[in-house]
A and B are shown apart, each in its own frame.
Chain A
Amino acid sequence: MNYRIDIGLEVHVQLKTRSKMFCGCEVRVGAEPNTLVCPVCLGYPGAMPSMNGEAVRLTVRTGLMIGSTIDGFSKFDRKSYFYPDMPKNYQISQYDRPLCDGGAVLIGDGGVAKTVRIRRIHLEEDVAKNTHFAAASGVDFNRAGTPLMEIVTQPDMHSPEEAFAFLLALKQILQYADVSHCNLEEGNIRCDVNCSVRPEGQEALGTKTEHKNLNTFKGVLNALKVESERQIAVLNRGGKILQETRRWDADTGETAAMRSKEDAHDYRYFPEPDLMPVVLAPAEIEAWRAALPEMPAVRRARLVRDYGIPDYDAGVLVADKAVGDYFEAAAKLAPNAKLVSNWMMTEMLRLLGETERDIRTVPITPAALAALVCLTESRTINSNTAKDIFAELFEQGGDPEAIVRQRGLGQVSDASAIGMIVDEAIAENIKVFDDYRNGKVAAAKFIIGQVMKKSKGKADPQLVMKLLDARVAGG
């Protein structure tokens, strides 16, 4: 039997604010445990939340990016459950009046575009971090209270690959909106994954299972592959899927049911009495809408138009906002945007991939890349030298013009100096020269190679060719 897979995601995104959602403690990863805490985020007796307006703005901004309805009235609710990472044993979240309703994200590049509908986006507070020791667990509340935006999709993805593509597209939007650092290693984006399967043709969705807190997109992809196959196998054996929370183990590549809870969740939501509702005026929402950044697709078209680069290149460059930003910064300073794009598409992306570095922190600056392009464009250096310099700049930074000057790497374009070397090479290889003169075109390559060798690579190959032809013509 053929099965259809239905996947829905709940994506938790830590927002890019300086301070926490409901208190003034700093949001920072890597601090000593329990040093970014106060009575509010520790759930002390008497402490009360005060709402970070920037977190509200960033959430609404995200909603506007994906076409959510912002209806103006929103409120916060308490969601009760006991867990050691929960300072108050209730989480301040949003139940029935989230900040953003609906919306959609387009996935699939160029060819077949597909829409994943967004159910809602709400704002809540992150929980603490637990560490497990041999006989006990430790709790660090530094993360507790970090503004966390939860984006809930409809079950519109029908393969693990679609879910993966959705996450990439969403991350791209979040980067463009500049609402999150989007650093997966630091847990800025974490997913709860709901998956079910149903026989082809069946209307109703199958029984779903949930995997919580997956913090890599690859993890989501792999967990979904394994889980959807598991569910299909269970159904094929005539078994039943249990609605349960399962755990993905990236090391073994298996999913397993978690120890079942004693009682079903009963979150006992009720309006947070300590926080007043948010009522956004239409004028304010419109002002925020007007301040939205360019969406990736719009930027792609603009790069083609403004910089004269191919559509394919533009698509690659806008995929990551930071890469696009880098390109534009360099292209503005360089004489030839296409050459900048070539460097980005080849050397830059290759080295970024190999070294797993972030373009925002690489030592080579957009200005240095532009200068390098100038040097090749003016034929001061040849392409091999340029590649070497790029690699060096990528690792250590610096000014390409200074490097060329200091090491005397400049291409020699002085006809008389090169002429002497050409004559020397002809003299040493008179038979090959004769072959060339007699029409053996390939023979020129050898002579040119000899000239390049003698000039330690600095001769301008085009000039060498010109001079060699002059010798042939001259007699």
Chain B
Amino acid sequence: MSEKQAQTGGIDVRYVANLARLALTEEEIATFQGQLSQIVEYVQAIDRLDVTGIEPTSHALPRYNVFRADEVRPSLDRDTVLRNAPSSRDGQFIVPKIVE
């Protein structure tokens, strides 16, 4: 939660976009802030409902214990995989240097 969100109870687009790893322009932030504030206000409609004792639905159908046998299946051909990669070398995907 950002300080701004905590204060206003509304959405802080700049903060959330960073969580979602989206670089937004100032113009986008302004536009989205307006649109999303309106949308967030709309979806707050569900606040009016009393859901005491109601179980949440996370799956649209009740199903349990869907297991796969522990069997090896063929993997993809590496050339196929690396052809999709924006950058690769010596069989590895290459990314900008990770700094820990």
User: A52 near B: Cβ within 8 Å?
Assistant: yes
Q: Tell which of A50, A53, A75, A138 touches B92, judged by Cβ atoms closer than 8 Å.
A: A138
**Least Cβ–Cβ distance between A137 and chain B, in angstroms:** 4
Contact A276 B71 (CB under 8 A): no
Residue B48 interfacial (CB < 8 Å): no
A84 CB to nearest B CB, Å: 5
- Whether B66 lies near A276 (C-beta < 8 A) is yes
Given A56-B67, A263-B18, A278-B64, check contact A35 B95 (CB 8 Å): no
User: Given A136-B96, A137-B94, A276-B63, does the pair A35, B78 have CB atoms closer than 8 Å?
Assistant: yes
Distance of A266 Cα from B69 Cα, bound (Å) = 34
Q: How far is the CB of B71 from chain A (nearest CB, A)?
A: 6
- Choose among A24, A32, A52, A270 the residue with the greatest number of B CB atoms under 10 Å from its CB: A24
Q: Does A258 contact B (CB under 8 A)?
A: yes
Contacts A50-B66, A51-B66, A51-B68: A138 and B89 contacting too (C-beta < 8 A)? yes
A42/B78 in contact, CB under 8 A: no
Q: Which of B37-66 contact A (CB under 8 A)?
A: 58-59, 63-66
- Quick one: CB contact mask for A224-253 with B, threshold 8 Å, 1 for yes? 000000000000000000000001000000
Question: Is B90 located at the chain interface by the 8 A CB criterion?
Answer: yes
Q: Tell me which of A130, A135, A263, A273 contacts B58 (CB under 8 A).
A: A273
Q: Restricting to A13-51, which residues have a CB under 8 Å from any CB of B?
A: 17-19, 23-26, 32-39, 42, 50-51
A26 contact set on B, CB distance < 8 A: 72, 75
Residues in B neighbouring A266, C-beta threshold 8 A: 19
Q: What residues on A are CB-neighbors of B93 within 8 Å?
A: 34, 84, 138-141
In the complex with contacts A52-B67, A262-B18, A279-B65, A36-B97 CB distance below 8 A: no
Q: Is the CB of B81 within 8 A of A19?
A: no
User: How distant is the Cα of A222 from the Cα of B66 in the complex, in angstroms?
Assistant: 43
CB distance from A232 to the nearest CB of B (A): 26
CB interface residues, A 387-405, toward B, < 8 Å: none
- Give A142 to B49 CA distance when docked, in angstroms: 48
Q: Which residues of A contact B96 (CB under 8 A)?
A: 136-137
- The number of chain A residues touching the other chain, given as a range, is 35 or more
Q: Pick the most buried of B21, B66, B95, B98: most chain A CB atoms within 10 A of its CB.
A: B98
Query: Total A-B pairs in contact (CB under 8 Å)?
Result: 122
A259 within 8 A of B: yes
Is A131 at the interface (CB under 8 A from chain B)? yes
CB pair B97 A137 closer than 8 Å? yes
Q: Interface of chain B, helix or strand or loop or mixed? A: loop
A18 to B76: give the CA distance in the assembly, Å: 17
How long is the Cα–Cα vector from A279 to B64 in the complex, in angstroms? Answer: 6
Q: Chain A contacts of B70 at CB under 8 A?
A: 17-19, 52-55
Please classify how large the interface on chain B is, using the bins under 10, 10 to 19, 20 to 34, 35 or more. Answer: 20 to 34
Contact of A37 among B71, B76, B89 (CB under 8 A): B76
How far apart are the CA atoms of A343 and B64 in the complex, in Å?
52
Quick check: B71 and A19 within 8 Å, CB to CB? yes
Report if B26 contacts A (CB, 8 A): no
Q: Which of A263-278 contact B (CB under 8 A)?
A: 263, 266, 268, 270-271, 273, 275-278
Contacts of B71 in A (CB 8 A): 18-19, 24
How far apart are the CA atoms of A26 and B21 in the complex, in Å? 32
* Chain A hits for B18, CB < 8 A: 262-263
Most buried by B among A26, A138, A271: A138
Q: Flag if B97 contacts A132 (CB, 8 Å).
A: yes
B82, CB-defined interface residue at 8 Å: yes
Chain A residues within 8 Å of B66, by CB: 50-51, 275-276
The answer on a CB contact under 8 Å between A258 and B100 is yes
Minimum distance in angstroms from B90 CB to a CB of chain A: 7
**Contacting residue for A42 out of B69, B81, B99, CB 8 A:** B81
Q: A32-B78, A131-B92, A280-B65 are in contact. List 6 more A-B contacts (CB 8 A).
A: A24-B74, A37-B75, A52-B67, A136-B95, A137-B98, A139-B94
20 sample A-B contacts, Cβ–Cβ < 8 Å, listed by A number: A18-B71, A19-B73, A24-B71, A33-B92, A34-B92, A34-B93, A37-B76, A53-B67, A132-B98, A135-B97, A136-B96, A136-B97, A138-B89, A138-B94, A139-B93, A140-B92, A259-B99, A273-B58, A275-B66, A276-B65
A residues apposed to B, CB below 8 Å: 17-19, 23-26, 32-39, 42, 50-56, 75, 82, 84, 89, 130-133, 135-141, 247, 258-259, 262-263, 266, 268, 270-271, 273, 275-280
The 5 closest A-B pairs by CB, nearest first: A24-B73, A53-B67, A138-B92, A54-B70, A271-B58
